Amino acid sequence: MAEDQQIQVTVVGSSNVDITALMNRLPGPGETVLADSYQLTPGGKGANQALAAQLAGAQTEFIGAVGEDEHSAIALGQMETAGVQLGRVIRSQEPTGVAIISVDSHAENSIAVVSGANASVDAAAVRNAGELHGVLVLQGEIPAAGITAAIAAAKDRVVLNLAPVITLQRGDFLAANPLVVNEHEAFEALKQLDAAAAEGLEENYEQLARQLLAQGIGSVVITLGGAGCLVAEMDAAGQAQLSQVAAMKVNAVDTTGAGDAFTGALAAHLAAGETLSEAADFANRFAAYTVQHPGAQASYPRDLSQL
C-alpha cells in the first residue's frame, strides 16, 4: 500500500505498561522498602524504540501485541499521539505485558517483566503481518522465533538490540547491521556465537567488538552509559574500524528507557541515510536528554531543538 511505502522504520517488539515505584534505595534480597510514589506509564522495549524513532524524525510503524484490557490504551497511548502507525498491532487474549520497575534516588533501577500478550508476537504472527518496510528494529522481549521471522521478512537493514539477552540463531546475529548491545550483552552474544572466543573478554569491550565483527556481524554498537558508545565496522579492506562516540555530560534523574531511546533514535537516523557514527552521535544526545527526566516514554524529547 502507498501508506506502507512511507514507513522508514518498523519496530517489531514488545509493548508494556510500566508500574514504576520511586524510592530512596532499591531493596536487597528478602527486604521490603517503602516507596515514595508509583505511576502507570507506557513502556516495553519495542514500544519505547518505536516512539523514539518517530520522535527522532522517522515515520515509524510498531508491530506487537496488547491484551483486550484496560492497560492496552496506556501501552499504545504515547505512540498513537506521536503518530506511530499501529494498524498491525495484535489484540491478544493474554493480558497486556507489565514491567515492574523500582527506581532509587541515584537513578538506578531494577526491572521485572511479565510478558503477557508479547508472547503472541511469534513466528506465525509476524508472518501474518506481511512485509516489513524500512529499517527493521528488533529486541529480546518477544519470542526468538518471531525475531527470526521478522528478519526473514525485512526489506532493509536490521537493527538488533539483544536486550534482554535471549538465545538466537546464528543467522539472526549475522543479519544485524548493527547489533546494539551493552558490555554484558556483547559478551553474552559472543558466547552464543563462539564460547571459546569470549573467554576472558567480559570486561574488554573493544576486543568484544572486534570478535563480534570477526564472527561476520555487519556492524556493532556497544553502549557505555555515561561514556557514550563504541562503533565498530569493517572497512572496505576487511579491517575492523573502532571509534568511540562521546556522551554528553548530564545529571541523570532516571535511566529507565534510555537504552531504548538510543536504539530508536539510532535507527531513525540510519533510515535518513546517516553513517553509523553520525547516527550514534545523535542517539547519544537523544538518550542524554531522556535521563534528565523521569519515566521512559514520557522523558523522550518532543522538540529536537532541545538536544
Q: Give catalytic residues, as residue numbers.
A: 260
- 53 in Cβ contact with 80 (< 8 Å): no
Q: Which amino acid is at 71?
A: H
For residue 107, what are the CA distances in angstroms to 10, 45, 218? 30, 18, 34
Distance in angstroms (rounded) separating the CA atoms of residues 292 and 249: 11
> What dihedral angle (degrees, nearest 10) is formed by the CA atoms of 278, 281, 287, 288?
-160
Query: Of the candidates 96, 104, 145, which has an alpha carbon nearest to the alpha carbon of residue 121?
Result: 145
Q: Which three cell numbers stand for residue 264?
A: 530508536
Strand order in the sheet with 9-12: 60-63, 9-12, 135-139, 158-161, 176-182, 219-223, 229-234, 240-245
CB 223 within 8 A of CB 284: no
DSSP letter for 154, please.
B
Contact by Cβ (8 Å): 140, 164: yes
Could you tell me where the DSSP H helices lie in the chain? 2-5, 45-55, 71-82, 123-129, 144-153, 170-175, 183-193, 195-198, 205-214, 258-271, 276-290
Cell of 202: 567480559
